[in-house]
Homo-oligomer: A and B are copies of this chain.
Amino acid sequence: MTPQRVTLITLGVEDLDRAKAFYAALGWVPTREIAGEVVFYQINGMALGFFGKSALAADQGRPDATLGTGAITLAQNFETEAEVNAAYELAISAGAEGLKKPEKVFWGGYSGYYADPDGHVWEVAQNPFWSLNDDGSLTLPTS
């Protein structure tokens, strides 16, 4: 079997500097970097990286592919609606495209969506049924 695990999320980007600038505006600090090629950020228990979109296609074994975006959402959960609003507003002010302003949603939480400059979709949410651990990681409730 394969472990139930993700160790690296790689986002394909059009322009590495543009991507770095956007995430820098959110307060993110690169952990490791090969100038002009790849940038890695330490996140909770794994790494998140940016890699040129055509380089990523080639690395994936399909150099002629036009990579899409949007069928994956990366989410950040927060403890309060105010934190969700602040995260959403910060992203918009940094140049994100607002997809859905944070609002109360049918499942009982509060959630908004934005797309980063490359179209990668982030949800910012407060879920009253999911508490975050002290280190910001999430353990799904099992009952």
Contacts and interface: CB of A to CB of B under 8 A. Distances in A.
A119 B136 CA distance: 30
A67 B9 CA distance: 19
Copies of this chain present in the complex amount to: 2
B71 A138 contact: no
Interface in A119-139: 119-121, 123, 130, 132-133, 135-139
A43 B10 contact: no
Interface residues of A, number: 69
Given A1-B90, A8-B77, A8-B123, 7 more contacts: A1-B27, A3-B136, A7-B77, A8-B73, A8-B138, A60-B73, A60-B113
Contacts of A43: 4-6
